[in-house]
């Protein structure tokens, strides 16, 4: 496990009319502040990332489809520096993942359907604090298959 990453199973409330998907509350232990919410759609078999934020924390949930989320702790002086963590998210594992700034993340949709990811970020998007790392970079010791 990567230090300060939290994975919390979320609740869905479904009936014959549809479902309500809970995601994040100000009462959650890792909730810091609200910056913005955005949604990212990724098609099955496509890989996104690597992304790293220098100040923004992410709170992600996959509300439709399924993804494999891979995290890499690139923070110096972290107790888990250099660690890799893989997490399955989506319809089969409806959970929220808190990703602290400094941790790189990448994801791949699988299962033949597109996936929709919601992120409640602690800061509004700012391209100056976002770092992109190539998927095949030697900086991250993980290769997607």
0.85 surpassed by pTM: yes
Does residue 137 belong to any structural domain of this protein?
no
> Is the Cβ–Cβ distance between 85 and 70 less than 8 Å?
yes
Low-confidence spans in the chain with pLDDT less than 50 = none
Measured between alpha carbons, how far is 51 from 126 in angstroms, rounded to an integer? Answer: 13
Write down the pLDDT at residue 145. 82
Mapped onto helix, strand or coil, the DSSP state of residue 6 is strand
Measured between alpha carbons, how far is 1 from 3 in angstroms, rounded to an integer? Answer: 6
Q: What is the pLDDT of residues 86-121, one digit of tens each?
A: 999 999 899 999 999 999 999 999 999 999 999 999
Does residue 140 belong to any structural domain of this protein?
no
Neighbours of 58 (CB within 10 A): 20
Does residue 18 belong to any structural domain of this protein?
yes
Number of domains making up the chain: 1
Q: Which domain holds residue 125?
A: 6-132
């Amino acid at each position: 496990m990567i230090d300060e990453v939290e994975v919390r199973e979320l609740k869905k409330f479904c009936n014959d009319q549809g479902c309500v998907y809970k995601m994040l509350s100000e009462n959650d232990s890792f909730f810091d502040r609200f910056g913005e919410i955005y949604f990212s759609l990724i098609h099955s078999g496509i890989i996104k990332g690597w992304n790293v934020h220098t100040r923004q924390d992410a709170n992600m949930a996959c509300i439709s489809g399924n993804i494999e989320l891979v995290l890499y702790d690139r923070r110096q002086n972290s107790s888990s520096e250099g660690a890799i963590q893989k997490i399955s998210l989506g319809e089969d594992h409806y959970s929220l993942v808190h990703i602290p700034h400094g941790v790189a993340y990448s994801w791949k949709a699988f299962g033949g359907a597109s996936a929709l990811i919601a992120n409640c970020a602690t800061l509004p998007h700012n391209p100056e604090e976002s770092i992109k790392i190539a998927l095949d970079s030697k900086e991250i010791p993980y290769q997607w298959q």
